[in-house]
Structure 1
Amino acid sequence: MQRPLRLRRQEDFAHMRKAGRTYRHPFLTLSVAPNPLSHNRYGFVTSKRLGNAVVRNTVRRVLRGVIRQADPSLAHGFDVVLVARPPIVGQPYQAIEQATVTCLKQAGLCKPPVGEQLP
Protein backbone atom coordinates (compact mmCIF):
# COMPACT_ATOMS: atom_id res chain seq x y z
CA MET A 1 0.00 0.00 0.00
CA GLN A 2 1.37 3.40 -0.93
CA ARG A 3 2.69 5.53 1.93
CA PRO A 4 0.17 8.42 1.59
CA LEU A 5 -2.68 5.91 1.87
CA ARG A 6 -1.53 4.52 5.24
CA LEU A 7 -2.57 5.47 8.74
CA ARG A 8 0.51 5.09 10.89
CA ARG A 9 0.51 7.68 13.67
CA GLN A 10 -0.96 6.99 17.07
CA GLU A 11 -2.88 10.29 16.90
CA ASP A 12 -4.70 9.10 13.77
CA PHE A 13 -5.85 5.92 15.48
CA ALA A 14 -6.90 7.90 18.58
CA HIS A 15 -8.97 10.20 16.33
CA MET A 16 -10.65 7.12 14.86
CA ARG A 17 -11.64 5.91 18.33
CA LYS A 18 -13.18 9.31 19.13
CA ALA A 19 -14.81 10.41 15.91
CA GLY A 20 -15.19 7.19 13.94
CA ARG A 21 -18.26 5.04 13.37
CA THR A 22 -17.78 1.32 13.90
CA TYR A 23 -19.21 -1.60 11.93
CA ARG A 24 -18.75 -5.16 13.12
CA HIS A 25 -18.49 -8.54 11.45
CA PRO A 26 -17.39 -11.80 13.10
CA PHE A 27 -14.07 -11.59 11.17
CA LEU A 28 -13.29 -7.90 11.55
CA THR A 29 -14.28 -4.51 12.89
CA LEU A 30 -14.28 -1.52 10.54
CA SER A 31 -14.02 2.07 11.80
CA VAL A 32 -14.64 5.02 9.49
CA ALA A 33 -14.15 8.76 10.01
CA PRO A 34 -14.06 11.61 7.49
CA ASN A 35 -10.72 13.23 6.66
CA PRO A 36 -9.98 16.53 4.87
CA LEU A 37 -7.98 14.81 2.10
CA SER A 38 -9.06 13.89 -1.43
CA HIS A 39 -8.15 10.24 -0.87
CA ASN A 40 -8.75 7.52 1.73
CA ARG A 41 -6.19 6.44 4.28
CA TYR A 42 -6.18 2.91 5.68
CA GLY A 43 -4.93 1.35 8.90
CA PHE A 44 -4.75 -2.31 9.85
CA VAL A 45 -4.70 -3.68 13.40
CA THR A 46 -3.74 -7.29 14.10
CA SER A 47 -3.32 -8.03 17.79
CA LYS A 48 -1.35 -10.83 19.37
CA ARG A 49 -4.64 -12.62 20.09
CA LEU A 50 -4.60 -13.73 16.44
CA GLY A 51 -1.41 -15.74 16.80
CA ASN A 52 2.29 -15.43 16.16
CA ALA A 53 3.94 -12.91 13.83
CA VAL A 54 3.55 -15.13 10.77
CA VAL A 55 -0.22 -15.38 11.29
CA ARG A 56 -0.62 -11.66 11.98
CA ASN A 57 1.41 -10.67 8.91
CA THR A 58 -0.57 -13.08 6.72
CA VAL A 59 -3.87 -11.62 7.89
CA ARG A 60 -2.57 -8.07 7.40
CA ARG A 61 -1.34 -8.93 3.89
CA VAL A 62 -4.73 -10.38 2.91
CA LEU A 63 -6.60 -7.36 4.28
CA ARG A 64 -4.29 -4.98 2.38
CA GLY A 65 -4.94 -6.96 -0.82
CA VAL A 66 -8.71 -6.74 -0.36
CA ILE A 67 -8.54 -2.99 0.27
CA ARG A 68 -6.19 -2.45 -2.68
CA GLN A 69 -8.79 -4.04 -4.98
CA ALA A 70 -11.74 -2.22 -3.42
CA ASP A 71 -10.18 1.27 -3.20
CA PRO A 72 -11.05 2.49 -6.73
CA SER A 73 -14.75 1.80 -6.13
CA LEU A 74 -14.93 3.49 -2.71
CA ALA A 75 -15.99 7.02 -1.82
CA HIS A 76 -12.99 9.25 -1.05
CA GLY A 77 -12.18 11.46 1.90
CA PHE A 78 -12.26 8.91 4.73
CA ASP A 79 -9.91 7.30 7.22
CA VAL A 80 -10.63 3.56 7.49
CA VAL A 81 -9.27 1.20 10.14
CA LEU A 82 -9.73 -2.57 9.91
CA VAL A 83 -9.26 -4.52 13.14
CA ALA A 84 -8.88 -8.26 12.61
CA ARG A 85 -10.74 -10.54 15.04
CA PRO A 86 -9.61 -14.08 15.95
CA PRO A 87 -12.13 -15.97 13.73
CA ILE A 88 -10.43 -14.47 10.64
CA VAL A 89 -7.40 -16.75 11.10
CA GLY A 90 -7.43 -19.58 8.57
CA GLN A 91 -10.31 -18.20 6.51
CA PRO A 92 -10.02 -18.27 2.70
CA TYR A 93 -9.39 -15.05 0.81
CA GLN A 94 -12.95 -14.96 -0.60
CA ALA A 95 -14.51 -15.11 2.88
CA ILE A 96 -12.33 -12.26 4.12
CA GLU A 97 -13.09 -10.25 0.98
CA GLN A 98 -16.84 -10.80 1.45
CA ALA A 99 -16.66 -9.75 5.12
CA THR A 100 -14.73 -6.59 4.23
CA VAL A 101 -17.09 -5.62 1.40
CA THR A 102 -20.08 -6.20 3.69
CA CYS A 103 -18.66 -3.80 6.29
CA LEU A 104 -17.74 -1.23 3.61
CA LYS A 105 -21.31 -1.34 2.27
CA GLN A 106 -22.73 -0.93 5.78
CA ALA A 107 -20.52 2.12 6.20
CA GLY A 108 -21.82 3.56 2.92
CA LEU A 109 -18.37 3.76 1.32
CA CYS A 110 -19.16 1.72 -1.80
CA LYS A 111 -20.09 3.89 -4.76
CA PRO A 112 -22.97 2.67 -6.92
CA PRO A 113 -21.99 1.30 -10.35
CA VAL A 114 -21.95 3.81 -13.20
CA GLY A 115 -25.45 4.35 -14.57
CA GLU A 116 -27.16 3.19 -11.37
CA GLN A 117 -29.01 5.80 -9.35
CA LEU A 118 -28.98 6.19 -5.61
CA PRO A 119 -32.33 5.42 -3.90
Structure 2
Amino acid sequence: MKKEYRLRSNRDFQYAFKKGRSLGHPLLVLIYRRNNSTLTRVGFSVTKKFGKAVQRNRIKRQLREIVRLQYHHLKQGYDIIFVVRREAKGASYHTLEKAVNNLLKRGNLYK
Protein backbone atom coordinates (compact mmCIF):
# COMPACT_ATOMS: atom_id res chain seq x y z
CA MET A 1 0.00 0.00 0.00
CA LYS A 2 1.43 3.39 -0.95
CA LYS A 3 2.57 5.64 1.87
CA GLU A 4 0.14 8.43 1.01
CA TYR A 5 -2.72 5.95 1.55
CA ARG A 6 -1.60 5.16 5.11
CA LEU A 7 -2.96 6.81 8.22
CA ARG A 8 0.06 7.32 10.44
CA SER A 9 -0.01 10.35 12.72
CA ASN A 10 -1.19 10.02 16.30
CA ARG A 11 -3.38 13.13 15.91
CA ASP A 12 -5.25 11.59 12.95
CA PHE A 13 -5.78 8.34 14.87
CA GLN A 14 -7.08 10.20 17.92
CA TYR A 15 -9.43 12.34 15.83
CA ALA A 16 -10.82 9.28 14.04
CA PHE A 17 -11.34 7.46 17.35
CA LYS A 18 -13.12 10.50 18.80
CA LYS A 19 -15.24 11.61 15.84
CA GLY A 20 -15.54 8.44 13.77
CA ARG A 21 -18.24 5.81 13.48
CA SER A 22 -17.46 2.24 14.45
CA LEU A 23 -18.61 -1.19 13.36
CA GLY A 24 -17.79 -4.41 15.15
CA HIS A 25 -16.92 -7.91 14.02
CA PRO A 26 -15.63 -10.83 16.13
CA LEU A 27 -12.11 -10.36 14.69
CA LEU A 28 -11.89 -6.63 13.91
CA VAL A 29 -13.40 -3.24 14.67
CA LEU A 30 -13.74 -0.72 11.83
CA ILE A 31 -13.61 2.99 12.66
CA TYR A 32 -14.16 5.45 9.83
CA ARG A 33 -14.84 9.13 9.22
CA ARG A 34 -14.85 11.58 6.33
CA ASN A 35 -11.67 13.57 5.81
CA ASN A 36 -11.06 16.79 3.89
CA SER A 37 -9.04 15.07 1.21
CA THR A 38 -9.53 13.27 -2.07
CA LEU A 39 -7.62 10.26 -0.72
CA THR A 40 -8.79 7.49 1.53
CA ARG A 41 -6.21 6.74 4.21
CA VAL A 42 -6.09 3.46 6.12
CA GLY A 43 -4.48 2.68 9.49
CA PHE A 44 -4.14 -0.42 11.64
CA SER A 45 -4.08 -0.75 15.41
CA VAL A 46 -2.97 -3.87 17.26
CA THR A 47 -2.75 -3.89 21.05
CA LYS A 48 0.30 -5.29 22.82
CA LYS A 49 -2.03 -7.80 24.46
CA PHE A 50 -2.31 -9.46 21.04
CA GLY A 51 1.15 -10.96 21.33
CA LYS A 52 4.78 -10.28 20.61
CA ALA A 53 5.91 -7.88 17.90
CA VAL A 54 6.31 -10.67 15.33
CA GLN A 55 2.63 -11.62 15.66
CA ARG A 56 1.43 -8.01 15.67
CA ASN A 57 3.47 -7.15 12.58
CA ARG A 58 2.34 -10.28 10.75
CA ILE A 59 -1.35 -9.47 11.14
CA LYS A 60 -0.74 -5.85 10.12
CA ARG A 61 1.07 -7.05 6.98
CA GLN A 62 -1.82 -9.36 6.14
CA LEU A 63 -4.41 -6.61 6.65
CA ARG A 64 -2.34 -4.13 4.66
CA GLU A 65 -2.25 -6.57 1.73
CA ILE A 66 -6.00 -7.22 1.93
CA VAL A 67 -6.71 -3.47 1.88
CA ARG A 68 -4.14 -2.88 -0.91
CA LEU A 69 -6.02 -5.32 -3.15
CA GLN A 70 -9.38 -3.68 -2.32
CA TYR A 71 -8.23 -0.05 -2.31
CA HIS A 72 -9.39 0.83 -5.84
CA HIS A 73 -12.93 -0.31 -4.89
CA LEU A 74 -13.13 2.03 -1.87
CA LYS A 75 -14.87 5.40 -1.80
CA GLN A 76 -12.43 8.30 -1.63
CA GLY A 77 -12.24 10.89 1.14
CA TYR A 78 -12.29 8.69 4.25
CA ASP A 79 -9.96 7.85 7.12
CA ILE A 80 -10.33 4.18 8.02
CA ILE A 81 -8.86 2.36 11.02
CA PHE A 82 -8.93 -1.38 11.61
CA VAL A 83 -8.53 -2.34 15.27
CA VAL A 84 -7.52 -5.98 15.67
CA ARG A 85 -9.15 -8.01 18.44
CA ARG A 86 -7.36 -10.82 20.28
CA GLU A 87 -9.71 -13.36 18.68
CA ALA A 88 -7.96 -12.73 15.35
CA LYS A 89 -4.76 -14.31 16.65
CA GLY A 90 -5.13 -17.67 14.90
CA ALA A 91 -7.22 -16.47 11.96
CA SER A 92 -6.24 -17.38 8.42
CA TYR A 93 -5.71 -14.85 5.64
CA HIS A 94 -8.98 -15.91 4.02
CA THR A 95 -10.92 -15.39 7.28
CA LEU A 96 -9.39 -11.93 7.74
CA GLU A 97 -10.25 -11.07 4.14
CA LYS A 98 -13.89 -12.00 4.71
CA ALA A 99 -13.99 -9.92 7.91
CA VAL A 100 -12.53 -6.85 6.17
CA ASN A 101 -14.96 -7.15 3.24
CA ASN A 102 -17.89 -7.59 5.62
CA LEU A 103 -17.00 -4.46 7.60
CA LEU A 104 -16.37 -2.33 4.50
CA LYS A 105 -19.73 -3.37 3.03
CA ARG A 106 -21.56 -2.64 6.30
CA GLY A 107 -19.88 0.77 6.49
CA ASN A 108 -20.94 1.50 2.89
CA LEU A 109 -17.32 2.28 2.00
CA TYR A 110 -17.30 0.52 -1.37
CA LYS A 111 -17.99 2.56 -4.52
> Is the shorter-chain TM-score for this pair beyond 0.5, marking a shared fold?
yes
Which residue of structure 2 aligns with residue 77 of structure 1?
A: 77
In structure 2, runs of 5+ residues without a counterpart are none
Q: How much has 1:62 moved relative to structure 2?
A: 0.5
Q: Structure 1 runs of 4+ off > 3 angstroms?
A: none
Q: How much has 1:6 moved relative to structure 2?
A: 1.1
Counterpart residue identity of residue 32, structure 1: Y
Note the 1:64-103 alignment, pairs <5 A.
64-103=64-103
Q: How much has 1:18 moved relative to structure 2?
A: 1.7
Equivalents in 1 of 2:72, 2:89: separation in Å? 26
Deviations 1:53-72 (A, max 9, x none): 11001100000011001111
**SS, match of residue 55 in structure 1:** helix
> TM-score, normalized by length of structure 1?
0.90
Counterpart residue identity of residue 10, structure 1: N
Which residue of structure 2 aligns with residue 30 of structure 1?
A: 30
Which residue of structure 1 aligns with residue 105 of structure 2?
A: 105
Q: Percent identity over the alignment?
A: 36
Which gives a bigger RCO, structure 1 or 2 (Cα 8 Å, sep 6+)? 2
Q: When the two structures are aligned, how many residues end up with a matched partner?
A: 111
Greater Rg over alpha carbons, structure: 1
